[in-house]
A = this chain, B = another copy of it.
Amino acid sequence: MTEPKPSARIGGKATDKPQLTRDNWLDAAAGEVAAGGFGNLRVLTLSKKLGVTRGSFYWHFKDHEDLVTSFLNRWRDRRLHELLYWKPDVNSTGDVEAELKSILELLLTDASRNIRRLQVELAVRDFARRNDYAADLVAEVDAARIDQNCLLLQRISSDPRRVRDLSTLLYVATIGSQVVLTGQKGDEDAISRIEDLLARVVLGQGDM
């Protein structure tokens, strides 16, 4: 309560210890989650890496659970929000094949490069297997992404069920490749080949 006054900031000369924000803690938490999953998200180690004591943490967060749920919420919000940046134009007349390929590149090649982001996503997904709240958020994000792909695939098939199935297949294939092809040497190659193959496969499954 008491409206977190927007600017009660202090100090800030240079090495004046910039006064951590809640988001700073969440960013650091992302590092821990990416490295060791949610089971490795400890208040103590987090404080050490930020150069403060746990006293700081318990000012910004109620407890450990608060940190986890805040992290999950921010993750959900960002994942849903980023979908707006490449929302396909429903009544576009552009090249479907080109659009599909660019989306596939985004989902596969591009995603496999942002290692940090990918690690966090896999960790969240793993955590969702034993945490109901996380499971809900993951389901929400999955549904939104699949729906998004449906918007594009509508242009290669008029059967809504087929569109949805293709979109689901495309999605599970991308998630699977992110899980399986994990930075081994030669994976970069395998990913781009999967990418091409998926494009052919999807385009070949249009109206017949």
Contacts and interface: CB of A to CB of B under 8 A. Distances in A.
A123 B37 CA distance: 11
B176 A179 contact: yes
B172 A193 contact: no
A132 B205 CA distance: 40
Interface residues of A, number: 41
Contacts of A171: 176, 180
A105 B198 CA distance: 21
Interface of A: 35-37, 39-40, 119, 122-123, 125-126, 128-130, 135, 139, 142, 165-166, 168-169, 171-177, 179-182, 184, 190, 193-194, 197-198, 200-201, 204-205
Given A123-B126, A176-B177, 8 more contacts: A122-B129, A172-B176, A172-B179, A172-B181, A173-B176, A179-B179, A200-B205, A201-B201
16 contacts: A35-B130, A122-B126, A122-B129, A125-B179, A129-B182, A139-B184, A168-B193, A169-B173, A171-B180, A172-B179, A172-B181, A173-B173, A174-B176, A175-B176, A200-B205, A201-B201
